């Protein structure tokens, strides 16, 4: 199932009605905005010459339809909501996509309710990011598969009135059995990182990462990395919230 989802994401999207999309990049990370400029070169997403601060006034672009705004800052939920409200007020017709991998499920829901058009992970492959942005400007709403599946699972659990007591206790126990390194790797899996990316991020051998992932799958009772990422999205913080 996971392979089918990835292949579907990378299939060509129907031709966009917008061959040129003015793209504003809000990003104070020099490495990240340099990488994005490279990824989006030779695409329909024409980056503005300037890189903007989170508090910048972008109303000058309100008449430059169509406009896409990429917000690549690590903010709190309230800061994201304030930025979203301000940017939408300055460019009412703009699409707004956040690049982040630290948001809780409840925060993701709040942002989409406030008008967010897409959520992408900074760890996405460049080609996947471009396809995600193409979907957004084609009128679709985009969020990572792991987040979408976790939201569906959460909704399914809420529909079962007596299902929360036992799973919550079980999840807390499982989280407590994870080592610090396993928790780090699980967070990387939530971002869609490959074994090679995890090894580079945590300064480990790739073979060591594979051993840790095998142990993680057994501990959280997951059949594959996608299920493990879904489990982590919901339960990784439960040990903190329910100390035992």
* CATH number for position 203: 1.10.10.10
The domain containing residue 38 runs over which residues?
2-143
Query: Mean pLDDT in the chain?
Result: 77
The conformational region for residue 143 under phi > 0 = left, psi -120 to 50 = alpha, else beta, is beta
- Do 86 and 139 belong together in one domain? yes
Check residues 152 and 91 and name the one with the higher pLDDT.
Answer: 91
Write out the two tokens for 224.
Answer: 């594959």
Q: Which pLDDT score, from 0 to 100, does residue 15 have? A: 54
Q: What is the pLDDT of residue 156?
A: 65
Residues 61, 170, single domain; the answer is no
Residue 86: pLDDT over 80? yes
The predicted-structure confidence for 191-207, as pLDDT tens digits, reads as follows 888 888 888 888 888 88
> Reduced to 3 states, what is the DSSP secondary structure of residue 7?
helix
The mean per-residue pLDDT over the stretch 169-177 comes to: 46
pLDDT confidence of residue 27? 86
**pTM of the entire structure?**
0.57
Q: Which of 115, 143, 171 is the last residue of a domain?
A: 143
Using pLDDT thresholds of 50, 70 and 90, give the confidence band for residue 236.
low
DSSP one-letter string for 79-115: HHHHHHHHHHHHSTT-EEEEE-S---HHHHHHHHHTT
Q: How confident is the model at residue 169 (pLDDT cuts 50, 70, 90)?
A: very low
Please check whether residue 110 lies inside any domain of the structure: yes
**Pick from 107, 26, 115: which is nearest to 71 by CA?**
26
Mark whether 171 and 69 lie in a shared domain.
Answer: no
In this structure, are 163 and 135 located in the same domain? no
Domains in the chain: how many in total? 2
């Amino acid at each position: 199932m996971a392979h089918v989802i990835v292949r579907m994401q990378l299939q060509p999207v129907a031709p966009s009605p917008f061959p040129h999309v003015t793209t504003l990049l809000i990003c104070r990370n020099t490495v990240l905005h340099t990488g994005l400029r490279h990824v989006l070169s030779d695409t329909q997403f024409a980056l503005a010459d300037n890189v903007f601060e989170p508090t910048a006034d972008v109303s000058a672009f309100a008449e430059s339809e169509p406009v896409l705004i990429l917000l690549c800052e690590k903010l709190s939920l309230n800061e994201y909501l304030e930025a979203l409200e301000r940017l939408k007020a300055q460019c009412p017709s703009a699409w707004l996509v956040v690049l982040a991998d630290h948001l809780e499920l409840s925060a993701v829901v709040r942002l989409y309710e406030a008008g967010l058009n897409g959520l992408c992970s900074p760890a996405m492959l460049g080609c996947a990011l471009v396809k995600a942005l193409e979907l957004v400007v084609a009128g679709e709403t985009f969020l990572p598969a792991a987040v979408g599946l976790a939201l569906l699972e959460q909704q399914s659990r809420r529909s079962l009135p007596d299902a929360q007591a036992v799973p919550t206790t079980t999840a807390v126990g499982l989280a407590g059995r994870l080592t610090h390194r396993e928790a780090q790797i699980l967070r990387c899996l939530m971002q869609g990182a490959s074994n090679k990316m995890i090894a580079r991020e945590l300064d480990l051998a790739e073979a060591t990462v594979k051993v840790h992932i095998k142990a993680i799958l057994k501990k959280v009772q997951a059949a594959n990395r996608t299920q493990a990422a879904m489990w982590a999205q919901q339960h990784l913080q439960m040990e903190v919230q329910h100390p035992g």
